[in-house]
């Protein structure tokens, strides 16, 4: 028997095993959201939102340029139409949206709302321009809001419906059907040849010339600028949807009542990495939701943008009406601390329970006063047209709160005490 000599100096290959550190995934701690490459699902959503704006442009041009009158305006102004008993194209659209909630939740808000499309476009522009203030919020997904955001939304809906309430009180409830009314440009600059509504404090004509067309278009862009760009820069991505959207209170009562409604659902074992929670543009604590609610996200702020699904590398989440997979792997931090407790962050903002949004340290009186100021100013500017409610409410809301914050900081600055020297006799 012959032995084959083996070289003793041959290097052995060692397998190194990296240990999971405390700061890595699975610790149930809050990590800064990592930049994600756009997924195919995200691209489809952007195409859907862009298609909505393409349809709006087609509808306006076909009606007002070529005289091709298919149907009247399709927009959320169908809400006041329904309130006064008018069945038109807009009110039919609103009824279809409300019906879709029973199956898809608030999927309309994430995939077909023209305002959400403008917000996503503003987000893209602000990131491309590298606006510092916005990037500071966006990179850490800091979502600033008011603790009483639902009161502000309900108040905004009331102010927008107030003219209808007054009309019904004066004239009475008169139901009618007219799918061709109003025209697509209704409630926008240039409607009926005027820059503003008839009830405006002042007005001027919009003639069919390029200069006047650009003026009317510029006014519409200004309205959209305040609703998307300005709010995003001040309060983080998707601020309009989280703070001021007046139609969210209509949708919330229809959430979580249908057994066939699809929800973000846990379909595998959650590791507690919290990437889903950190990616949500609506401030939903997705990881906690699926832990405490049988694997389902039941938060009524969910707009089905699927950012949480795209952020999860373990494919834990899926949009389905099927029951969630039971969580058998223990997540001790969630067991010890049932929900995120109220605390003061290092940047001075406040956090509250059951979601990831943060609040400015203003106090309940100042916070409530800012909402009253916003609704009053928005009601005044709405005399120029329904959409003009938003610039008035947004600008006054931001300015009032900013002034209060500056006064608070000024009061907190320690004032130098004057030294008293005893007088010599």
Asked if residue 225 has pLDDT above 60, the reply is yes
Instruction: Supply the pLDDT for residue 421.
Output: 60
State the chain's maximal CA–CA distance in angstroms.
118
Residue 232 CA to residue 137 CA, distance in Å, equals 9
Residue 225 CA to residue 121 CA, distance in Å, equals 11
Burial class from Cβ neighbours inside 10 Å (0-12, 13-18, 19+) for residue 423 reads: exposed
Instruction: Supply the pLDDT for residue 4.
Output: 45
Q: What is the mean pLDDT of residues 169-197?
A: 88
Q: What is the mean pLDDT of residues 57-84?
A: 90
pLDDT tens by residue, 34-48: 556 789 999 999 999
Q: Band of the pLDDT at 352, cuts 50, 70, 90? A: low
Instruction: Supply the pLDDT for residue 35.
Output: 57
Those residues whose C-beta lies under 8 Å from the C-beta of residue 225, and which sit 6 or more positions away, are: none
Asked if residue 419 has pLDDT above 50, the reply is yes
Residue 145 CA to residue 305 CA, distance in Å, equals 19
Q: What is the mean pLDDT of residues 57-70?
A: 92
Instruction: Supply the pLDDT for residue 413.
Output: 79
Structural tokens at position 405 = 């914050």
Note the residue count of the chain: 425
Q: What is the mean pLDDT of residues 109-118?
A: 95
Give the percent of the chain with pLDDT over 90. Answer: 61
Q: Give residue for tokens 């194209």.
A: 89
- For residue 205, the SS3 value is strand
Q: What is the mean pLDDT of residues 81-98?
A: 92
Asked if residue 2 has pLDDT above 50, the reply is no
Out of 84-93, 200-209, 266-275, 329-338, least confident range: 329-338
Residue 421 CA to residue 415 CA, distance in Å, equals 19
Out of 84-98, 260-274, 280-294, 405-419, least confident range: 405-419
Out of 146-155, 221-230, 247-256, 333-342, least confident range: 333-342
- What residue ranges in 224-370 does DSSP mark as E strands? 263-266, 317-320, 343-344, 350-351, 358-359
Instruction: Supply the pLDDT for residue 343.
Output: 65
| Residues 89/211, Cβ–Cβ less than 8 Å | no
Alpha-helical segments (H) within 129-228: 132-138, 149-171, 210-225
- For residue 320, the SS3 value is strand
Q: What is the mean pLDDT of residues 334-345?
A: 68
Instruction: Supply the pLDDT for residue 378.
Output: 95
* Listed residue (259, 287, 331, 337) closest to 102, CA to CA: 259
């Amino acid at each position: 028997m012959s032995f084959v000599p083996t070289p003793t100096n041959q290097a052995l290959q060692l397998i190194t095993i990296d240990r999971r550190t405390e700061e890595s995934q699975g610790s149930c701690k809050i990590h800064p959201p990592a930049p994600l490459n756009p997924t195919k699902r995200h691209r489809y959503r952007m195409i859907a939102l862009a298609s909505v704006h393409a349809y709006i442009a087609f509808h306006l041009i076909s009606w007002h340029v070529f005289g091709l009158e298919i149907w009247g305006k399709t927009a959320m102004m169908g809400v006041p139409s329904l309130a006064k008993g008018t069945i038109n194209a807009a009110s039919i659209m609103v009824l279809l949206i409300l019906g879709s909630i029973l199956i898809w939740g608030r999927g309309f808000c994430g995939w077909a709302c023209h305002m959400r499309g403008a917000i996503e476009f503003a987000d893209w522009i602000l990131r491309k321009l590298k606006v510092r203030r916005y990037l500071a919020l966006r990179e850490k997904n800091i979502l600033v809001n008011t603790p009483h955001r639902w009161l502000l939304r309900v108040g905004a809906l009331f102010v927008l419906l107030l003219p209808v309430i007054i009309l019904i009180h004066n004239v009475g409830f008169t139901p009618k059907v007219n799918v061709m009314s109003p025209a697509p440009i209704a409630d926008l600059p240039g409607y009926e040849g005027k820059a503003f509504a008839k009830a405006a404090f002042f007005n001027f004509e919009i003639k069919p010339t390029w200069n006047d067309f650009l003026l009317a278009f510029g006014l519409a862009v200004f309205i959209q600028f305040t609703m998307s760009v300005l709010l995003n820069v001040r309060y983080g991505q998707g601020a309009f949807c989280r703070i001021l959207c007046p139609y969210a209170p209509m949708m919330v009562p229809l959430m979580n009542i249908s057994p066939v409604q699809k929800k973000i659902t846990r379909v595998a074992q959650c590791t507690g990495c919290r990437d889903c929670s950190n990616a949500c543009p609506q401030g939903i604590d997705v990881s906690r939701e699926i832990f405490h609610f049988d694997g389902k996200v039941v938060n009524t702020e969910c707009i089905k943008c699927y950012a949480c699904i795209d952020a999860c590398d373990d494919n834990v989440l899926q949009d389905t009406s099927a029951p969630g997979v039971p969580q058998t792997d223990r997540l001790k931090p969630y067991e010890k601390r049932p929900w995120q407790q109220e605390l003061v962050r290092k940047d001075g903002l406040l956090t509250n329970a059951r979601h990831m949004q943060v609040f400015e340290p203003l106090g309940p009186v100042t916070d409530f006063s800012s909402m009253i100021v916003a609704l009053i100013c928005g009601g005044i500017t709405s005399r120029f047209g329904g959409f003009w409610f938003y610039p008035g409410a947004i600008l006054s809301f931001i300015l009032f709160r900013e002034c209060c914050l500056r006064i608070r900081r000024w009061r907190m600055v320690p004032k130098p005490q004057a030294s008293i020297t005893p007088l010599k006799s």
